[in-house]
Structure 1
Amino acid sequence: MSRIISYTTGDRAEAVAYLGAAGRLTDEQRRVLAMMKGRAEASQRELDRQGLDWGLTVPEALDHLVEGRADAEGEYTGKAYARALQHVIDHCGSDPMDLGVYSRPATFFGLLDEQLRRRGVPADLLPGGYLFSGPPDEIPFFIPYAVDGPDIGMLPLADARRAADAYRAVREEVDADFRDDLDLLAGKLEFEHGEWESTKARGYDWYTHDTIFFSTNG
C-alpha cells in the first residue's frame, strides 16, 4: 500500500507546549485544542469508514497527549498517538503540502541515504534521518513509534538550504532512479528556507516557525 509524505512548517516549542499541559492551558490554547479535537474526530470517522481499529481512537490519543501520557497498550496504538500528535503540529503551523507518494518510503529513503552518504553528504542532512526522526525530543514523556515506523519527522528550517545545496552538489553522482525525487526534495527545502528567511527579514513578531515537520500516512 502506498504511503503519502506531507510536510508543514511550524513552531516546535508551541506544539510541544500542548503536551502534558492539561489544567494549565491558556484560553487561546484551549480554543486551539478544541479545533484539534474536531480534526481528531474527523480522522477517527475516516478510520471507522475504512474499518481500521488501532486499539485507541485518535481523540482518546489526543486526550492522553495533553494529559502527559502515551501509555495505552496495543500493537497499533502508536499510530493513534502519531496521528493525534500530527493534529497538534498542524494547528501550530502552515497548511500541509504533499512531498510525494511512496510504496515503501523508509526503504526508498534508506537507499537514497546510502547513495548520499557515499558521496559525502553529512549525516544530519540525510533525508531518512529527518523524514522519520520521530517526535520532538523535548516532549516530557515517551511516545511509542507506529508499528511500521515513525510517522513523524523534523528538520530545522535553518538547515533546509544547506541540505538542498548538498543534494544538488552530488546530484549527477547519484543513480538516475533517485534523481527526480532528490530534485523534488531539494526544491521544496530551498523554497521553504527562502520563505523562512524572507519572513524573518520583515521582522514580524508573530512569525515563530523554526521547523519543517514531516508526516507519513497511509
Structure 2
Amino acid sequence: MSHNIWYSTADKADVLAFLGSRGNLDDNQQHRLADMRTRARAYQGELMRQDIDWGIPVPEALEHLLAGHTDSDSEYAGAAYHAAMQIIIDHNASDPGHLGTYSKPATFFSHVDEVMRNLGVPADLLPYGFFYPTSLPAGFPRLPHPADVYPAIGYLPLEKAKPAADAYRAVLGQLDPSTRYGIQELIDMLENEHENWTYATEKLDWYTQDTLFLALT
C-alpha cells in the first residue's frame, strides 16, 4: 500500500485556538469550524464506503478535540483523532503541497536517519523525528497512537527548515542512490518553504506562520 506525504504551513496559535475552544471563537473561526465539520462528515462517509470502522466517527473525534479531550478508548481511536486534528490544521494552514508517495515511508526515513546520523547530521534535524514525532507541538493534546500508524501528523518549526536542508545537502552525495532522489525532493521543499517564510516574515506584517506540518496518509 502506498502512502502520500503532504505539507502545509500554519501558525500553531491558529490551530490551538480550536482545541478546547468550547465555543470561544470569533465569526471567522466559526465559519472555518463549520467547514471543518462538513469535512469531517465527508471523511467519515469515505470510511463507511470502504467499510472502515475506527470505533469513533471522525465528526465525534473532532468534537472531542474542540472540547479539549481525547477520551475514546476504542482500539483504533488514534486514527480518528489524527484525522480530525489534520482537518483542524488544514483549515488553518496554507494550501497543501505534495512531497511524495512512498510504499514504506517509515522504513525509508528510519534508514535515512541512521545513515545521516553516522554522517554527522544533528539529531534534532534528522527527518524521521519530524515525520513521526512522539508528540505534537507544545500545547497540543497527546493523541492516541493510530493502531496501524496512519494517518500520521509530523511537524517542523519553520526556523529549522533551512538548517535541515543545509545538513542534508552536505551529505547528499554520500547517500545511497536509491534514497538520494527522495532526500533531494525533501531538500527542495524545505528550501522553498524557508524562502517563503523569510520573505513573508520580512514583508508582510500580518504573517505569523511558524510551523511546517506534514500529513502522512
Q: TM-score range by the shorter chain?
A: over 0.9
2:71 alignment partner, SS class: coil
- Residue 149 of structure 1 and its aligned partner are, at CA, apart by 3.0
Question: Which residues in structure 2 correspond to 1:1-218 (within 5 Å)?
Answer: 1-133=1-133, 134-139=135-140, 141-149=141-149, 151-202=152-203, 204-217=204-217
Show structure 1 runs of 4+ deviating over 6 A: none
Q: Write the distance in 2 (CA, Å) between the matches of 1:78 and 1:158.
A: 29
- Residue 104 of structure 1 and its aligned partner are, at CA, apart by 1.4
Q: Write the distance in 2 (CA, Å) between the matches of 1:210 and 1:198.
A: 13
**CA-atom RMSD in angstroms:** 1.2
1:172 alignment partner, SS class: helix
Cα displacement string for residues 131-183 of structure 1 (whole angstroms, at most 9, x for unaligned residues): 111422312x4321211337011101111011111101001111111100010
Q: Write the distance in 2 (CA, Å) between the matches of 1:155 and 1:122.
A: 14
- Count of aligned pairs: 215
- The answer to whether the Cα contact below 8 Å between 2:9 and 2:209 also exists between their aligned partners in 1 is yes
Q: Write the distance in 2 (CA, Å) between the matches of 1:194 and 1:94.
A: 15
- The answer to whether the Cα contact below 8 Å between 1:160 and 1:189 also exists between their aligned partners in 2 is yes
Identity of aligned residues (%): 48
TM-score, normalised with respect to structure 1: 0.95
Cα displacement string for residues 33-69 of structure 1 (whole angstroms, at most 9, x for unaligned residues): 1111111111111111111111111111100000011
Q: Write the distance in 2 (CA, Å) between the matches of 1:23 and 1:90.
A: 19
**5+ long unaligned stretches in structure 2:** none
Cα displacement string for residues 178-203 of structure 1 (whole angstroms, at most 9, x for unaligned residues): 1000100000000010011111121x
Deviates more, 1:118-127 or 1:146-155: 146-155
